[in-house]
């Protein structure tokens, strides 16, 4: 006897997760649609997809929370009610007179353009004689007559009246129709990573890995709301590739075109700030003095903040090495133009060097089309003069090591 309380027995958790499992399967199929395809939820089956050339894939999606002694989800057995209900339902769809499939010919035509998939987190069992017989018939290692005989034997031994009913209805199909129907059945068992499947599908749409969860949350929320509205207004939930692109692509595009997030500097400053090459160059032209500790620290923070953000954006795939090179070359060109203009004049001195520095401090650099602001733009010129690739005096290249 179960030790569960009445409240526990009537709780919605197990029912809810079953609905959620089916919904996320629908969402996964929606995210993997190709042009010309559509997916439906509770229209022709739990979930179905319509491919080009009028091909339909019918999915029965079954979830279980029952576990064995080892803590694993239980296997799908030969007497699993979900198995027989699924086989029965598909058989009734095939022979549905109300859908103009009373005759064998129309049933065969329907099966020819259909595939049937049972998708479940229940695990496969090598002892499941029903799935074993289905696979043997598909592989032509047994005949349709032997298959029917084996199923009838199983029905005779079964003590479950519901299963007996399902089997008898299943076997009412014409032998040729049944044979073709069985050849179109696929079992995908042990599938329990449906959320990850959805996220993987999002990532394949060129969404950076660190943005996948955000896109998933937005699309999940939007589609759930849209589905609720469709059901409330009495409409069926069936979404084509074109509809999906039109209604939901903005969530992908917004992420792809989202501004680069500038992170604050959290690391400590290095020792002996005055030993940095860019600081030495600024000291040489009297832009700063050795006792300007606060200013030296501020300039160092600008440089480190720029370096850290560029490295993060590149590591996370938000900018490419080509974009970094283009941005950096643009900064060097801005320096070069100003440097050449002033060094070509007579009387070039420290004031001229200060003019170059102060001119560049007014520049607002861009990367990937986004303005970086004063701190990072200043930080870039400090970084370039620290490597050094630029300088302020005519003999600045002496700082190269």
The single residue listed with the structure tokens 């133009």 is: 337
> Using 50, 70 and 90 to split pLDDT, how confident is the model at 14?
low
Q: Please name which of 199, 188, 174 lies closest in space to residue 24, comparing C-alpha atoms.
A: 199
Supply the DSSP symbol for 211: G
Whether 70 contacts 58, CB under 8 Å:
no
Within 10 Å of residue 293's Cβ, how many Cβ atoms?
Answer: 12
228-259 per-position pLDDT tens digit:
999 888 999 999 999 999 999 888 887 776 78
> Using 50, 70 and 90 to split pLDDT, how confident is the model at 15?
low
Question: How far is it, in rounded angstroms, from Cα 359 to Cα 334?
Answer: 10
Q: Is 288 exposed, middle or buried (0-12, 13-18, 19+ CB in 10 A)?
A: middle
Indicate if the pLDDT at residue 310 is higher than 70: yes
> Using 50, 70 and 90 to split pLDDT, how confident is the model at 52?
confident
Q: Given this model, what pLDDT does residue 251 score?
A: 86
Question: How far is it, in rounded angstroms, from Cα 176 to Cα 201?
Answer: 38
Average pLDDT for 201-230 = 91
Average pLDDT for 259-271 = 90
Indicate if the pLDDT at residue 3 is higher than 80: no
Q: Given this model, what pLDDT does residue 250 score?
A: 84
Question: How far is it, in rounded angstroms, from Cα 39 to Cα 198?
Answer: 15
Sheet strands (E) in 112-236: 114-120, 185-188
pLDDT-wise least confident of 51-65, 116-130, 249-263, 288-302: 249-263
Cα torsion through 347, 351, 357, 363, rounded to 10: -90
Supply the DSSP symbol for 62: E
Supply the DSSP symbol for 100: T
Three-state secondary structure call for residue 176: helix
Average pLDDT for 11-22 = 71
pLDDT-wise least confident of 63-67, 296-300, 394-398: 63-67
Strand partners, 366: 371
pTM over 0.85: no
Indicate if the pLDDT at residue 10 is higher than 50: no
Indicate if the pLDDT at residue 267 is higher than 50: yes
Strand partners, 53: none
Question: How far is it, in rounded angstroms, from Cα 399 to Cα 387?
Answer: 9
CA atoms within 13 A on the CB side of 183: 16
Q: Please name which of 218, 178, 239, 201 lies closest in space to residue 47, comparing C-alpha atoms.
A: 239
Indicate if the pLDDT at residue 2 is higher than 60: no
Question: How far is it, in rounded angstroms, from Cα 65 to Cα 4?
Answer: 15
- Chain center to CA of 155: 44
Residues, the chain:
401
Retrieve residue 339's tokens.
């440097």
Average pLDDT for 310-333 = 92
Average pLDDT for 82-95 = 96
Q: Given this model, what pLDDT does residue 261 score?
A: 84
Cβ neighbours of residue 127 closer than 8 Å, sequence gap 6 or more: 75, 77, 78
Q: Given this model, what pLDDT does residue 5 score?
A: 54
Question: How far is it, in rounded angstroms, from Cα 121 to Cα 190?
Answer: 4
Question: How far is it, in rounded angstroms, from Cα 371 to Cα 259?
Answer: 10
Which has more pLDDT, 207 or 244? Answer: 244
Question: How far is it, in rounded angstroms, from Cα 372 to Cα 188?
Answer: 50
Query: What residue spans of 204-268 are helical by DSSP H?
Result: 212-232, 241-256
338-375 per-position pLDDT tens digit:
999 999 888 889 899 999 999 999 999 999 889 999 99
Q: Please name which of 237, 212, 262 lies closest in space to residue 368, comparing C-alpha atoms.
A: 262
Retrieve residue 293's tokens.
């500790």
pLDDT-wise least confident of 116-120, 123-127, 303-307: 123-127
> Using 50, 70 and 90 to split pLDDT, how confident is the model at 13?
low
β pairing state of 47-50 and 56-62:
antiparallel
Over pLDDT 90: what percentage of the chain? 76
């Amino acid at each position: 006897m179960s030790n569960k309380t009445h409240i526990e027995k009537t709780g919605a958790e197990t029912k809810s997760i079953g609905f959620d499992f089916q919904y996320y399967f629908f969402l996964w199929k929606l995210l993997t649609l190709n042009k010309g395809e559509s997916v439906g939820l509770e229209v022709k089956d739990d979930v179905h997809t319509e491919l080009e050339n009028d091909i339909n894939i019918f999915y029965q999606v079954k979830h279980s929370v029952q576990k064995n002694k080892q803590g694993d989800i239980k296997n799908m057995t030969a007497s699993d009610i979900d198995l027989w209900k699924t086989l029965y339902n598909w058989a009734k769809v095939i022979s549905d007179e109300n859908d103009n499939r009373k005759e064998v010919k129309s049933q065969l035509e329907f099966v020819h353009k259909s595939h049937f998939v049972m998708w479940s987190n229940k695990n496969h069992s090598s002892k499941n004689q029903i799935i074993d017989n289905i696979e043997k018939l598909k592989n032509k290692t047994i005949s349709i007559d032997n298959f029917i005989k084996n199923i009838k034997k199983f029905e005779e031994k079964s003590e479950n009246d519901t299963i007996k009913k399902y089997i008898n209805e299943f076997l009412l199909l014409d032998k040729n129709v049944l044979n073709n129907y069985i050849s179109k059945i696929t079992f995908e068992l042990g599938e329990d990573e449906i959320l990850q499947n959805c996220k993987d599908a999002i990532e394949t749409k060129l969404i950076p890995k660190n943005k996948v969860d955000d896109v998933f949350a937005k699309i999940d929320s939007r589609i759930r709301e849209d589905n609720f509205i469709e059901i409330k207004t009495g409409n069926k939930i069936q979404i084509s590739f074109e509809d999906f692109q039109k209604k939901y692509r903005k969530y992908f595009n917004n992420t792809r075109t989202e501004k680069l997030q500038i992170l604050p500097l959290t690391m400590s400053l290095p020792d002996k700030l005055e030993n940095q090459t860019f600081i030495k160059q600024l000291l040489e032209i009297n832009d700063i003095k050795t006792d300007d500790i606060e200013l030296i620290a501020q300039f160092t923070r600008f440089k480190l903040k720029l370096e850290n953000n560029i490295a993060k954006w590149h590591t996370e795939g938000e900018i490419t090495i080509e974009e970094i090179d283009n941005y950096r070359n643009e900064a060097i060109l801005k320096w070069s133009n100003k440097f050449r203009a002033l060094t070509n004049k007579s009387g070039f001195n420290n004031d001229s060097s200060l003019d170059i520095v102060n001119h560049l401090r007014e520049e607002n650099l861009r990367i990937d089309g986004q303005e970086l602001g004063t701190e990072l733009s200043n930080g870039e010129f400090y970084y370039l003069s620290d490597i050094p690739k630029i300088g302020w005096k005519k003999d600045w290249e002496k700082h190269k090591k």
